[in-house]
Amino acid sequence: MTLAAATELAVATNEHLASMSNTLIYSSMAVYTLAFFAYILEWIFGSRSKVARTASALTAEGEAREKAGGPAVTVKKAGGTAVLERPKVVVRAASGARDVPDGPGAHGGDAQGDLFGRVAVSLTVLAFLVELAGVVARAASVERAPWGNMYEFNITFSTVAVGVYLALLALKKNVRWLGLFLITTVLLDLGLAVTVLYTASDQLVPALHSYWLYIHVSTAIFCGAVFYVGAVATILYLFKDSYETKLQTGGKPGAFATSVLERLPASASLDKFAYRINAAVFPLWTFTIIAGAIWAGDAWGRYWNWDPKETWSFITWVAYACYLHARATAGWKGRKAAYLAMIAFGCWLFNYYGVNIFVTGKHSYAGV
């Protein structure tokens, strides 16, 4: 075989892997869609008779029953009775004055709803593996890390976000309530990736040929995925806290809001979950900025150039630092701190989408 023929074969193989990657990404979207519908069925078929814990706890009669240790939730199954664990009662973060129980989950304590939930998680695992294979095939097509442009960043980012969710489930954390909302946004992210942000598989620009690509960009993707999970939890917290406040002040939420929000964890649990997620990854985000500065010193001769990407990475760091400080301060727990968390995540989003698309700088490798 001649050198020219060998080169042509290599290019063809790369194109084949790139095409395979595209097929796998589209296939993962199809499976994520099936998982989305399974999560919907979990919410629909979950028992609606088990979703009055928050309203009950925010009345004098309900409080007395909860403090007295009310009966466990039971569900009837063919051939016997299955007993589900009674939800733990936690203290609301916003006011600290009431005890509110966690919701029973999307399945509502119902065996049929729980079955659909398990199917949804299984489909999520399958979609995650298919998407991961798509990311690996993309990397193999050009024999480099698949983080050279926004399309590659997006597909890796959504893969890691789902991986974080599945890891929490594997660690026996009760986060299945997150599934529907996370998968919905992951589908939107992938839809944006394959339509607006898609870039053909190609080699890196010279400035990105460094081992720091594997260190700096991989940690940035992981941090962004975890911040993403924390942002979803924060949004749900804001809705649940408003719902609890409305009940506490004598208001009557709509039937749809009641059916959905009653099944989520208490606002205090959501607040604590979001805080722990953001606090856990914040040191790694600090390392990401430091690693980027070291790479800048190697590539550009200066550790800090006030490049737009560097600047907004630092702004994001400051925003999350303010949030963590506020959250640790008694007077800033609850909604005020949650608003700061959303501002911080908004800074992260602009740092990725806004800076890459609308601002020109030394990090302009978006490929859009």
38-52, 59-73, 307-321: range with lowest mean pLDDT: 59-73
- The span from the CA of 256 to the CA of 260, in Å, is 6
Range 115-118 contact pairs with CB under 8 angstroms and sequence separation of 24 or more: 116/38, 116/39, 116/41, 116/42, 116/45, 117/38, 117/39, 117/42, 117/176, 117/179
- Among 69-73, 154-158, 181-185, the range scoring the smallest mean pLDDT is 69-73
pLDDT at res. 77? 46
Pick the most confident of 117-121, 140-144, 302-306.
Answer: 117-121
Give the residue, 95 or 190, on which the prediction is more confident. Answer: 190
- Give the angle subtended at the CA of 303 by the CAs of 300 and 306, to the nearest 5°: 90
Look at residue 362 and tell me whether its pLDDT is greater than 50. Answer: yes
Per-residue pLDDT, averaged over 49-62, amounts to 62
Q: What does the alpha-carbon distance between residue 289 and residue 223 come to, in Å, rounded to a whole number?
A: 11
Which tokens sit at 6?
Answer: 């060998």
Instruction: Give pLDDT, residue 359.
Output: 66
Strands 99-101 and 73-77 turn out to be unpaired
> Which segment, 79-88, 130-139, 254-263, 304-313, is predicted with the most confidence on average?
130-139
Give percent of the chain above pLDDT 70: 77
Burial of 115 (0-12, 13-18, 19+ CB in 10 A): middle
Distance CA 137, CA 141 (A): 6
User: For residues 68 and 91, what is the distance between their CA atoms, to the nearest angstrom?
Assistant: 16
Q: What is the pTM (predicted TM-score) of this model?
A: 0.81
> Which of the residue ranges 20-29, 65-74, 237-246, 335-344 would you say has the lowest mean pLDDT?
65-74
Residue 247 makes CB contacts below 8 A (sequence gap 6+) with 54, 55, 58, 253
pLDDT of residue 249: 79
Lowest-confidence region among 111-115, 116-120, 207-211, 217-221: 207-211
pLDDT band at 258 (very low <50, low <70, confident <90, very high): confident
Percentage of the chain lying above the pLDDT 90 cut: 40
pLDDT of residue 73: 42
Comparing 6 with 263, the larger pLDDT belongs to 263
Residues in Cβ contact with 313 at an 8 Å cutoff, skipping those fewer than 6 apart:
288, 289, 292, 351
Give residue 93's pLDDT.
Answer: 41
pLDDT at 9: 37
Higher pLDDT pick, 39 / 200: 39
pLDDT-based confidence at residue 80 (cuts at 50, 70, 90): very low
Supply 24's token pair. 């796998």
Q: Is the pLDDT of residue 125 over 70?
A: yes
- Where does the pLDDT of residue 106 fall: very low under 50, low under 70, confident under 90, or very high at 90 and above? confident
Q: Averaged over 79-95, what is the pLDDT? A: 42
Confidence of residue 149 (pLDDT cuts 50, 70, 90): confident
Q: How confident is the model at residue 40 (pLDDT cuts 50, 70, 90)?
A: very high
Q: Is the pLDDT of residue 217 over 80?
A: yes
Residue 342 has pLDDT above 90, yes or no: yes
pLDDT exceeds cutoff 60 at 71: no
What 288-296 contacts at long range (C-beta under 8 Å, 24+ apart), as own/partner pairs, is 288/216, 288/219, 288/220, 288/223, 288/313, 289/313, 289/314, 289/317, 291/212, 291/215, 291/216, 291/219, 292/216, 292/220, 294/212, 295/210, 295/212, 295/215, 295/216
Report the pLDDT value the prediction gives residue 7, as an integer from 0 to 100.
39
Mean pLDDT, the chain, integer: 80
Mean pLDDT value across residues 238-265: 84
